[in-house]
């Protein structure tokens, strides 16, 4: 099953999308992945708000038998930085959290040779890193 969700790129977008992603996980029998997927979705959607001027945020959630895949699409085609080492800063942990909880994650650029947008995606597998 695939669900496509769209919201305005506002500060409140992360809270709404994270709750919807977690609800989808729980509804389709992935209760053990719900909290980690919720946290990762929140971090990636927050990055769209903080680092792009995109009017809308698109989130695609695909629920499989043993895995959950989440794509967060924005219109900023540049690559995301690699997760940094943990420090005393209060922000900047999004990709570190994603790298710690997701079984796989990455960035897909869209638009050919001159990218016009990107999707940051992550995959969580039953029994994997994000299973509670």
- Along the 132 residues of the chain, how does pLDDT read in single tens digits? 999 999 999 999 999 999 999 999 999 999 999 999 999 999 999 988 888 888 899 999 999 999 999 999 988 766 544 444 444 445 556 788 899 999 999 998 888 888 888 899 999 999 999 887
Residue 52: Cβ within 10 Å count? 16
> Which of helix, strand or coil describes residue 84?
coil
Residue with tokens 């919807």: 20
CB 43 within 8 A of CB 91: no
Please state the length of the chain: 132
List, in sequence order, every residue forming a beta bridge with 58; answer none if it has no partner. 6, 73
Residue ranges of domains in the chain: 2-125
CA distance 87 to 64: 36
Give me the CATH code for the 2-125 domain, please. 3.30.565.10
């Amino acid at each position: 099953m695939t669900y496509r969700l769209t919201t305005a790129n506002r500060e409140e977008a992360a809270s709404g999308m994270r709750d919807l992603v977690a609800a989808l996980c729980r509804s389709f029998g992935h209760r053990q992945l719900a909290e980690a997927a919720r946290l990762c979705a929140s971090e990636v959607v927050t990055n769209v708000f903080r680092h792009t001027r995109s009017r809308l945020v698109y989130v695609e959630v695909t629920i499989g038998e043993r895995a959950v895949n989440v794509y967060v699409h924005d219109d900023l085609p540049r690559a995301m930085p690699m997760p940094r080492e943990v420090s005393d800063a209060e922000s900047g942990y999004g990709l570190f959290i994603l790298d710690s909880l997701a079984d796989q994650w990455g960035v897909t650029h869209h638009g050919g040779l001159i990218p016009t947008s990107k999707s940051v995606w992550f995959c969580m597998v039953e029994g994997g890193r994000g299973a509670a």
